[in-house]
């Protein structure tokens, strides 16, 4: 398994790295996670204190049916929040598909990119290559998360890695794209990905587990996003056992407890 360092954090080590979600999009599918820019400094400090090593900042909801916003509005939100956080030594990731937004974020020392489009935008790929930052790439063929089954997820990952290779991008975390990104995707596709998560280690890159409060958990538990914490933690524990290297989560203290517990069990296995 490949590994690399980002701002002193080793990605791909045995113990998973916790990525806290700093959601500055009021359109988010999980309204309880929204953080206005006036509160982002406190929220960031709390996440770091509770065990998050990376902060993933997103200003645009990508959930199906969410209210769209312009790229200029996304840039404005990101700039406002990063201005507040400027001067801190946090390891920050920017969650965006738009090179204009990444370019703005790089001016504030953002250390990583989280691109759900998997470098479908050539300008984004070029910017990542020029900046040298590590990148989370989601399995995407022609649009974000457009796989409807496991085989198509494999195809999406292969295409993503081919795009990255064209630009010499090597420091990659693979996101298999768990979640209902397109209407054609059924709940069972997400469960199959979770059951077969360890098979994705065949690519040799660190894997991201991003399941926090997602729809497929709600479909089983019959819970709205607010009530999906227990289901989220159960799936997270399974994916850690299957080899997840980075865990992206809304609920940092609870997820950190899961990481500590599973890691301790694995020490004696």
- Tell whether the model's pLDDT for residue 35 goes beyond 90: no
Q: 22 in a domain, yes or no?
A: yes
Q: 246 in a domain, yes or no?
A: yes
Q: 3 in a domain, yes or no?
A: no
pLDDT value of residue 73:
93
- Tell whether the model's pLDDT for residue 28 goes beyond 70: no
Length of the chain: 269
Lowest mean pLDDT among 61-70, 112-121, 144-153, 234-243: 61-70
Q: 59 in a domain, yes or no?
A: yes
- Average pLDDT of the chain is 94
Percent of the chain surpassing pLDDT 90 = 86
Half-sphere CA count of 89, side-chain side, radius 13 A: 3
User: From CA 4, how far away is CA 26, in angstroms rounded?
Assistant: 33
Strands (E), the chain: 4-6, 9-11, 17-23, 54-58, 92-95, 112-115, 135-138, 172-175, 208-209, 246-249
Q: 124 in a domain, yes or no?
A: yes
pLDDT value of residue 141:
95
Mean pLDDT of 107-120: 97
Q: 2 in a domain, yes or no?
A: no
Lowest mean pLDDT among 52-66, 119-133, 221-235: 52-66
Please measure the distance between the N-terminal and C-terminal CA atoms of the chain and give it in whole angstroms. Answer: 20
pLDDT digits (tens, 9 = 90+) for 183-203: 899 999 999 999 999 999 999
Domain that holds residue 146: 14-267
pLDDT value of residue 147:
95
Q: 8 in a domain, yes or no?
A: no
pLDDT value of residue 269:
60
Domain CATH for 134:
3.20.20.20
Q: 7 in a domain, yes or no?
A: no
Read off the pTM: 0.95
User: From CA 153, how far away is CA 145, in angstroms rounded?
Assistant: 8
pLDDT value of residue 266:
86
Number of structural domains found in the chain: 1
- Paired residues of 247 in beta bridges: 18, 209
Instruction: Identify whether the C-beta of residue 249 lies closer than 8 Å to the C-beta of residue 19.
Output: yes
């Amino acid at each position: 398994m490949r590994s690399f360092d980002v701002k002193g954090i080793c990605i791909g080590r045995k113990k998973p790295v916790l990525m806290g979600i700093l959601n500055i999009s009021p359109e988010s599918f999980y309204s309880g996670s929204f953080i206005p820019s006036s509160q982002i400094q406190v929220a960031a400090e709390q996440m770091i204190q509770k065990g998050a090593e990376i902060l993933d900042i997103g200003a645009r909801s990508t959930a199906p049916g969410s209210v769209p916003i312009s790229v200029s509005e996304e840039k404005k939100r990101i700039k406002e929040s990063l201005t507040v956080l400027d001067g801190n030594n946090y390891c920050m990731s920017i969650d965006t598909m738009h090179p204009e937004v990444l370019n703005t974020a790089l001016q504030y020392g953002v250390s990583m990119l989280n691109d759900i489009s998997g470098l479908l935008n050539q300008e984004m790929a070029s910017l990542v290559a020029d900046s040298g930052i590590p990148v989370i790439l989601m399995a995407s063929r022609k649009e974000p998360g457009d796989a409807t089954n496991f085989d198509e997820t494999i195809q999406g990952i292969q295409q993503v890695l081919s795009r990255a290779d064209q630009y010499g991008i090597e420091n990659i975390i693979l996101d298999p794209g768990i979640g209902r990104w397109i209407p054609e995707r059924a709940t069972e596709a997400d469960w199959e990905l979770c059951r077969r998560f360890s098979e994705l280690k065949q690519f040799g890159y660190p894997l991201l587990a991003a399941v926090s409060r997602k729809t497929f958990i709600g479909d089983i538990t019959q819970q709205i996003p607010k009530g999906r914490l227990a289901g989220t933690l159960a799936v997270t524990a399974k994916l850690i056992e299957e080899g997840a290297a980075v865990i992206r989560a809304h609920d940092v203290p609870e997820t950190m407890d899961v990481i500590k517990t599973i890691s301790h069990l694995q020490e004696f296995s």
